[in-house]
Structure 1
């Protein structure tokens, strides 16, 4: 590339783009500054200077919240790309500066919604090719998982997300693979008033206790199926299954109920759903030079996810 052929070099800085992205995500100069660990005045100056450089208005006030203008939304996509590739360049340079190592221990953060058989299958596939490799499996929420990958205490993370528009550009320094969906359904005890109905409505669910996995609430997915006036958070699927033996209902992965073969737990026939609700998962990992072991782990995760019942 001939630098002389490049015209209109940008007058904005990476710090300005970082400030812009942080405020766009948080909707606040204060929160954006906190996330960047900078003072509010500096962040606001970066954004003011960016708007001057671009001669564009990127934000508008909506009460106490800053929201992107239509033009700001378009600029954010471009800014995210610049930050993403800048981070990739830094990682590439770091990898050139170090020698490849014989890493023999990997850590995967995963969702409690995934079947235990999936981690077993991945362990077996990796150990077949690399018998000395150890894989640690840790349950973490999305925020914890992404932070663990960034600080290198974790190598990969399988994270659930909702049906909102999901970011195709992952956080700086990370890469992503959309894995697919896991089917779920609404369940209750066979003696429950809900199980005796031919069709269950929103109002029927509202009068019964809903049991929900606490990690689902932490992921921001708790509002899905939140039709009950009484919601109880529990730490594991086993806890939910035990509570369903007494009363209430829950939205659970079908593979989990199928594996338990509990004669007392039945799927509810809902009047307001034509297709089963699903929970999407994506695989996050750090952008780095290709390691044969890590590539095998990623490949096996994708294959195992595809055959979840």
Structure 2
């Protein structure tokens, strides 16, 4: 007879594998350790393979067969969570609250526009809003603090998350108009910026720990958030990359100057809608995702943005 492990057996197996011991799994599942041991013994008997090494140590180490089965168990239980979540969504009505994490790369004007319409459409739904840097959006969704995330920086594969690209943004290197780099009337090289202070946002999450992006200067000032970086760049304390939507008015007014620096990667930065597979969005959250998708499709590409900026700048100069 073919083995037919139950969902409960797989849940207990996964708990032991992830906690590292039978006693820790028992505490996590709020069961007696003897029940956990009995469940695993029955599962091994059905499968006719040992899943854990009995070495006498407190740690429960997976056998090769246990390691092979681990991903299958995770997949089956993840599918179960999807089924449960779908049933909940069919039974439940409008959410009482929507918790959303939004990346600083999302244009502020679009965020305000979407949230204003959300307030009008769903007056009974409370809002919990987090604006995050780099990997913070993914962390907030993964931890369950936010129902949905609108942002990027998805650096690690996570099978528990549903990630869908809905638009783009991009970073551009800028400097204050009175900064020495702004006075160089030619394309810049790395040598031009190496000795100038570069302002860099340091991610506070594990998503990009130890990784730097577009750091070209030997001298760096590290700050905790984009808003602070924006203020320091405008104050002439250094140069750095900032979201194009954030500095558009500064560029048009001449307060900031775009640096023609080929070494700085300026490709489009994808923006995703992120949620847990086991927690599909309700009507209000689903509407919000589509509203951001619609708005982000109107965002210009980098070349279109720069062309518009040049045209506006010429018009202001002519006045």
Structure having the higher strand fraction is 1
The corresponding residue for 1:277 is: 267
The corresponding residue for 1:234 is: 223
Post-superposition shift, 1:300? 0.8
Cα contact 1:183–1:277 (8 A) shared by 2: yes
The corresponding residue for 2:153 is: 161
CA distance in 2, matches of 1:269, 1:191: 16
Q: Show structure 2 runs of 5+ residues with no match.
A: 30-56, 301-319
Cα contact 2:95–2:283 (8 A) shared by 1: no
CA distance in 1, matches of 2:126, 2:97: 5
The corresponding residue for 1:66 is: none
Q: Deviations over 1:225-262 (max 9, x none)?
A: 12222222334444323322323210111111113334
For the residue of structure 2 that corresponds to 1:200, the secondary structure is coil
The residue correspondences of 1:110-125 to structure 2 (distance < 5 A) are 110-125=102-117
The corresponding residue for 2:101 is: 109
Post-superposition shift, 1:125? 2.8
For the residue of structure 1 that corresponds to 2:151, the secondary structure is strand
The corresponding residue for 1:257 is: 247
The reply on whether 1:52 has 2:58 as its aligned counterpart is no
The corresponding residue for 2:286 is: 295
Cα contact 1:106–1:135 (8 A) shared by 2: yes
What RMSD in Å do the two structures reach over aligned CA positions? Answer: 4.0
Post-superposition shift, 1:216? 7.5
Post-superposition shift, 1:126? 2.4
Larger Cα Rg: Structure 1 or Structure 2?
Answer: 2
For the residue of structure 2 that corresponds to 1:161, the secondary structure is coil
Post-superposition shift, 1:298? 1.6
The reply on whether 1:91 has 2:81 as its aligned counterpart is no
Structure 1 residues 217, 101: CA separation in 2 closer, same or farther (over 3 Å shift)?
A: closer
Structure 1 residues 272, 204: CA separation in 2 closer, same or farther (over 3 Å shift)?
A: same
Post-superposition shift, 1:184? 1.2
The corresponding residue for 1:26 is: none
For the residue of structure 1 that corresponds to 2:295, the secondary structure is helix
The corresponding residue for 1:126 is: 118
TM-score (norm 2): 0.64
The corresponding residue for 1:198 is: 186
Cα contact 1:107–1:136 (8 A) shared by 2: yes
Post-superposition shift, 1:79? 6.4
Cα contact 1:213–1:233 (8 A) shared by 2: yes
Structure 1 residues 122, 95: CA separation in 2 closer, same or farther (over 3 Å shift)?
A: closer
CA distance in 2, matches of 1:14, 1:179: 34
Larger CA deviation: 290-299 vs 232-241:
232-241
TM-score (norm 1): 0.66
Post-superposition shift, 1:299? 1.0
Number of equivalent positions: 261
The corresponding residue for 2:198 is: 210
CA distance in 2, matches of 1:132, 1:205: 52
